[in-house]
Amino acid sequence: SERTLILVKPDGVRRGVVGEVISRIERKGLKLVALELQNLARETAEAHYAEHADKPFFGELVEFITGGPLVALVAEGPNAIKAFRQLAGATNPVEAVPGSIRGDFALEIGENIVHGSDSPESAEREIKIFFPELG
């Protein structure tokens, strides 16, 4: 079994699709092991997105992710990381197929509703950032 860090980003909270996203995670068969509404400090956001620090959109990304409350959760199950990334769909909502979260609820890459860890190493690092008590 595997764990993944999932965020319903501020656009998802604003749009009122938190329940919908959690419902899809549950329907898939993943188990919720932590769940919290959080307001990210700038430093936390910069740490979470450290791999993108050199990208031209980094400032915009940090502004966006700190711009309102988000829902952080940890889900667990066989192949949880890949399973959730499939549910989320392609990073750019224009490429994401209908039926995926981004395909159904988003239009623009900068506001694509959810985040999911992309590897076991990322998951471990990100879970520590959002839920230090889980180790």
Which residues form the interface with ligand GTP (CB under 6 A)? 52, 57, 60-61, 91, 109-110, 112, 115-116, 118
Site residues for Mg ion, window 80-119 (CB under 5 A)?
A: 118
CB-wise, 104 or 118, nearer to ligand GTP? 118
Is 115 an annotated catalytic residue? yes
Of 85, 115, 116, 126, catalytic? 115
**Cα-based distances in Å from 85 to 41, 54, 67:** 25, 24, 24
CB-wise, 19 or 60, nearer to Mg ion? 60
Please, what is the minimum distance in Å from the beta carbon of residue 19 to ligand GTP? 20
Please, what is the minimum distance in Å from the beta carbon of residue 91 to Mg ion? 7
The residues near 121 (Cβ < 8 Å, ≥ 6 apart) are none
Please, what is the minimum distance in Å from the beta carbon of residue 88 to Mg ion? 10
The residues near 9 (Cβ < 8 Å, ≥ 6 apart) are 64, 65, 70, 111, 112, 113, 114, 115
Which of these, 44, 56, 61, 59, lies nearest to 5 by C-alpha position?
44
- And the tokens for 67? 């711009």
Residues marked as catalytic = 115
Residues that bind Mg ion (CB under 5 A): 118
